[in-house]
Structure formats: C-alpha cells, structure tokens
Amino acid sequence: MPRWKAFFAQHLRWSSGITQALVLSVITFCVVLPLCCHRLLYSYFFIRSMYLDSMSEQVLRESLERGQDALRFWQSASAAVAVSSRFSDIAQHPELLVTVVTARRNEGRDFHYLLQVMQQLSGILGSCGERRCAEVLICDVESGPQENQDANLLEAHFKVVRRSPRSGWELVQPRNMVVLEDDALPRHDFFTVVKDLLSRRFALQTLYIKLYHPERLQRYWNPEPYRILEWVGLGLVGATALLLSFPYWNSCPFSFTLSSSHLLFFTLYFMAAAELLGRHYLLEVRRLSPQLYAVSPATECCTPAMLFPGNSSLRVAEYLDSSFCVKGNAKDMVLYQMARTIPGGRSHSVEPNLITHIGAYSSVRANPSRPKLL
C-alpha cells in the first residue's frame, strides 16, 4: 500500500482524533457560525453587502423617531411642570455631577440628540432610591452666530451654563463628575454601574474612566495585552470544561479526552469561535450584574462618556487648557498621552459600554449624505 494511502487509512478513520477535530471544525466554522452570525454587525461572518445599508437605515429611522418623541416630550406643558421642578435646582457638593456638553449641529438637527439624552437621563435619575442618582447640568459650548435651540428648550428644565465643563465643577463642586457628549445615550443601568465603579479601590488612583469604546474595536485580535490574556483564558476554560464533560455524554460520537493535544485543539477552537462570533456579544453577558463589568487600561479612542473620580477633572482640565488639539491629535489622544506621561497618572476603561453612541451626524466633521453603522 502506498505511504499516503496508509497515512489516510490510519489517521482519517472516524475513530481518529484528527478526523473528529476536522469534522467538528468544518461544521462549526463553515456551517453553524455562518448561519447564526451572518446578521450580527460585529461578527466576522456579517454579510456587509447584504445587510449594512438596511440596518443603517433602520437605526437612523429609530433615532429620528426617538428624537421627535423627545422633542414632543420637552415641549409638552405637563413635562415642563414635572421635570423643571426636579432638575432646575442643583444641590451643592453632590456625590456625582453629570455634565452634558453640547453644540449646535448643522446636520442631523431633526434627530435632537441632546433632547434624547436628557429625556433618558430624566427617566433614570430616580433609579437610586429616594434621592436622585446625580445632579445634572448642560454645558452649551456653541460659539457661532446661531443658537443651540435644543439647549434653549431645556433651559426651563435644567441648569444650563455656557462655559467650559470645568466651570460646572466650580459651580457645584461635586465629589465625582461624569462628562457626557450630547450624543451619548446612557443605558438604564448607567448610575448603578457608575456607583459600583466608584466604590472600587482603583477609582482612587485614576485620572479618568472611559465609559465607552467603539464596538468595532472591541475584538480580541488587538495589540492590547489584557485582551490576549482574556482570550487565551476563555479558550482554556472552555476547553477544560468541555473535555471534562465528554465522559458523561453517553451518546457522544466523539472520543476526545483530557490530553494535552486535545486541550490545545479545543483551546484554539474556542478562541477562534469567540473571535469570529464577536467579543462584543460575549461582553453583553457582563450586564447581568454591575460587579461583572470589567475594568482595563484605557486606549486612545474615544471620549463621548468619561467618569472623573474625585477632583481629577480639574487636573485634566488644566492639562487640556495647556494643550492644542488638531487633526490627528484630538482630545482623546491628548488625554491618553497625559495619562502616560504624568507621574502616577492612570486611566481606565469599563466594558461593556455604559452608553450608546447615537451621533450618526458629527458636529465637527464632514458627514456623508447617509451615515453607515460601519
């Protein structure tokens, strides 16, 4: 018998571990995952040519509807009475101050991002019990000849300042501060998680905590060392659990055992499956409890939602005042460089995201006629 026939006869029969591993891999990565993940936006199997345009249009429609609903909400007389009495007066030295930074958008005005964010905040501020979760003010940084009409509309309901976010700290002097851009829509568990983050020891030794990182940049295949360790750890845990459970599967057609070669294969198998599925979707499991939210070293991008523990916002503001932001060296890059160069400076990021970035139309950059999700 030729040598190649002898090799295939020995290793490619069903009882061979190589054959079983090959069949399992083909079924998983060529059949199951493509069928299950081809509509998942942040999966490698997402069929962009078929679904991206329709999904982008759907998200734009939903955001437009929320914006119009928010406009009607803030324009209604009943909402004005109910909300203004609760949020227009700001207490001194609160535990947490939320400053929403806004500017007029020349494009996408009908989406009313600021009104969406403030409606969401007004709804979740009471989730902390008898006392509201935070004090809120709006910082309107519009300097052009045209007014920010959404900020003007909210002036009857919230404190509005027309200076820098630092002035907001001096006005209220909070113990901790969150700065949101006007297109950062908080999730329903926003304040619960922020409160948990502030109770952790690391918060006393950080300049800022990023509450958002773009979903498309959350993959394991990334130069960040902690993600590689998380990736390998996930593979090892999944492989060990599966191999230990095989003996209890009476009708299982596979004959894998807890050997080094099988452990290596299944570690790589679970690592590949997790990356191709999309790390973003695995992170969503952490929303089960505030204690499950992960904290890691911050990366450069992006800054729509930032938590500043203690008086760190003053240090950051002073540094930004002495810096000059240009194209290629935006605020997020300046802050990242600050955390790396200042002695004792640290910055962190929380996962999964605590806000949804709804700003399809930018207030500082040129916009396409119809923005896309990717």
State CA 269 to chain mean position distance: 27
| Beta-strand relationship, 159-161 and 135-140 | parallel
Question: Looking at the predicted structure, is the pLDDT value of residue 313 above 80?
Answer: no
Residue scoring higher pLDDT (165 or 201):
201
Which CATH number is 57's domain given? 3.90.550
Per residue in 175-221, pLDDT (tens digit) is: 999 999 999 999 999 999 999 999 999 988 898 999 999 999 999 98
Whether residues 204 and 233 fall in one domain: no
Whether residues 298 and 196 fall in one domain: yes
Given pLDDT bands bounded at 50, 70 and 90, which one contains residue 325?
A: low
Domain contains 368:
no
Whether residues 207 and 150 fall in one domain: yes
Whether residues 148 and 211 fall in one domain: yes
Whether residues 63 and 22 fall in one domain: no
Whether residues 120 and 98 fall in one domain: yes
Whether residues 172 and 300 fall in one domain: yes
Question: Looking at the predicted structure, is the pLDDT value of residue 75 above 50?
Answer: yes
Domain contains 72:
yes
Whether residues 76 and 150 fall in one domain: yes
Average pLDDT, the chain: 86
What pLDDT was estimated at residue 77?
A: 47
Helix axes 312-321, 331-341, angle to 10 degrees: 110
Residue scoring higher pLDDT (174 or 363):
174
Residue scoring higher pLDDT (200 or 374):
200
Whether residues 162 and 181 fall in one domain: yes
Percent of the chain with pLDDT over 90: 55
- Torsion over CA: 242, 246, 250, 251 (sign): positive
Residue scoring higher pLDDT (372 or 250):
372
Rounded mean pLDDT, 224-247 = 92
Q: What pTM was computed for the model?
A: 0.89
Alpha-carbon span 103 to 65, nearest angstrom: 21
For the chain, the domain total comes to 2
User: Residue 29: which domain range?
Assistant: 17-46+220-277
What pLDDT was estimated at residue 147?
A: 84
Which of 119, 44, 84 is closest to 281 using CA atoms? Answer: 44
Question: Where does the chain show beta strands of DSSP type E?
Answer: 96-102, 135-140, 159-161, 176-181, 184-186, 208-210, 294-297, 305-308, 347-351, 355-357
Which of 370, 360, 366, 358 is closest to 327 using CA atoms? Answer: 366
